[in-house]
Structure 1
Amino acid sequence: MLVNFDCSAMWLKQPRWIVDAFNVDPLYLKHDQQGSAPDYRHWQIPLGRRFRALKLWFVLRLYGVENLQKHIRKHIALAHLFEKLCLADDRFEIFEEVTMGLVCFRLKGSNEVNEELLRRINGRGKIHLVPSKIDDVYFLRLAVCSRFTEDS
């Protein structure tokens, strides 16, 4: 969302589940203010947090709700455009339902053919795709996430 990779928002239905999973509470970390505010060291493996929120705050302030909505909708539309291009070409198949700006696709055929396609695409340096594998089926992941991405 227009911030660096290491800055992200996390919405949790049950924050308690994460706190229970990452809770580290040795005696030397106890203090008098425990329980007065969320202790975010229990939300992750590291005990401290870098100040990343300012980056996100600036984006929210500079763009506003409407422009962020436009930005997200544009990325979703671009993902669906790529999905349509894949579906229109008999050589490709969509591996999973398109979600937000993520398209999981593959060439019909062997895993090796898809590995070679990934090597060639990433080797050009124009775009970067990431592979994945589920049940020994290799596929490529196109994530629309740059503000410079266009449909041309």
Structure 2
Amino acid sequence: MVPFFVSTTLGTTSCCSFDNLSEIGPVCRKFGAWMHVDGAYAGNAFLCPEFKPLMRGIEYASSFNTNPNKWLLTNFDCSTMWVRDRYRLTQALVVDPLYLQHGYSDQSIDYRHWGIPLSRRFRALKLWFVLRSYGLEGLRAYIRNHCMLAKKFEALVRADSRFEVANEVKLGLVCFRLRGSDTLNQKLLSSINASGRLHMVPASVNEKYVIRFCVVAQDATEQDIGE
């Protein structure tokens, strides 16, 4: 049994933690393993120069994906993936029966060789419209505002001795909990969501039940965070 694929994450779902690619990458390269980097949420923030240190070691990646529908103003679903060696990917997925062959295979990219389905939805246009509408600086401002609002929420939580913050807040996600049992925090989350005014999702971090607060509203303000 020889490992051939290593999946790493920049910005985990539970608490937005970051794998150390600069340590994992050299091991993958030494043994010829494919290192995939999942940046579904946090990968969008790398548009901002100040967040690029979080992706240190990305040069070892064989593939890297982000989901613009998670934090780049693009409606669901939309996922982008960069591949270092497209030949290795397409040779693993090639589907070429006689009835699918055509005379333009050398002149165009045939996406049936890039994934499991033979066909796919056309998602590129909606992302193109977002990029053209907001521009690089507009998207950077959007991401920076969410990160600023998350830090504001973190400060409010830390100012209340009944609560604790359970993650290092680097982007737009704050994991917090009441100082007490998991059952108490489950009841708190149920009350929050039952109100119909807020919606949060739980996770387990270091074997503790935490509540995840993530800034996702497009036009969120400091007043919203205070409320």
Tell me the TM-score range normalised by the shorter chain.
0.7 to 0.9
Alignment of 1:20-99 (within 5 A): 23-26=92-95, 28=97, 31=101, 33=105, 37=109, 39=111, 42=114, 46-99=117-170
Q: 1:27 to 1:14 in 2, by over 3 A?
A: closer
Aligned with 2:178 (options 78, 83, 107): 107
Q: 1:41 to 1:142 in 2, by over 3 A?
A: farther
User: Equivalents in 1 of 2:84, 2:185: separation in Å?
Assistant: 38
Q: 1:30 to 1:94 in 2, by over 3 A?
A: farther
Q: 1:37 to 1:2 in 2, by over 3 A?
A: same
Please state how far the C-alpha of 1:72 moved relative to its aligned partner.
0.8
User: Equivalents in 1 of 2:138, 2:214: separation in Å?
Assistant: 20
User: Equivalents in 2 of 1:99, 1:5: separation in Å?
Assistant: 24
Instruction: Provide TM-score, normalisation by structure 2.
Output: 0.55
Instruction: Provide TM-score, normalisation by structure 1.
Output: 0.78
Aligned with 2:207 (options 127, 136, 140): 136
User: Equivalents in 2 of 1:112, 1:145: separation in Å?
Assistant: 27
Contact preservation (8 Å) 2:200, 2:211: yes
- Structure 2's unaligned 5+ residue stretches are 1-71
Three-state SS of the structure 2 residue aligned to 1:99 is coil
Amino acid paired to 1:147:
Q
Q: 1:47 to 1:137 in 2, by over 3 A?
A: farther
- If asked which structure has higher relative contact order (CA below 8 Å, sep 6+), I would say 1
Please state how far the C-alpha of 1:25 moved relative to its aligned partner.
3.6
Size of the aligned set, in residue pairs, is 147
